[in-house]
Amino acid sequence: MVQSFHYDIPKSDVLEKCRNILIKLDYEIDIYATESNMLITRPIQLRRALRRYDYIVYLQVNDRIQVHVAAERSIFKRGSQSTFGGDNQIEKQAESTMPIRLQKKIYQPIHRGMIKNNFRPNKISK
């Protein structure tokens, strides 16, 4: 899950602007590395019925800004599938594709913040 944006300001200013955008959206910055032009947020939890998604936002600045979301899905097993009081009640799976609705919930506020700061979205993102 990636979104790309183009920028017209000096590369040294881009990461700071992106950091401010994420802070305004209530993300906590875990790693902020100006020497490698990247930042990573602390894990955020989204709850959805019996599933919980933990995700982080990874932002890399090169010739364009790339916003990545890495997610992990926690599934609460039913009583018949888990041991009584054991640690096996929660199954964790790496999630390469989150449901579209959850992706929009994450990406739309970031997208709006980037547009407000004059970063242009890339037409083709994969």
Report yes or no: 39 and 32 within 8 Å, Cβ to Cβ.
yes
What whole-number distance in Å separates Cα of residue 59 and Cα of residue 19? 9
| pLDDT tens string 35-53 | 999 999 999 988 765 678 8
- Which stretch of DSSP H or E encloses residue 10? none
pLDDT value at position 82? 46
Q: Does the pLDDT value for residue 62 go beyond 70?
A: yes
CATH code 3.40.470.10 for 2-116: no
Residue 11 reports pLDDT greater than 90: no
Of the candidates 110, 89, 91, 88, the one whose C-alpha atom is nearest the C-alpha of residue 44 is 110
Cβ contact 91:73 at 8 Å: no
Domain range list for the chain: 2-116
Strand bridging mode 51-61 / 65-76: antiparallel
pLDDT for residue 92: 66
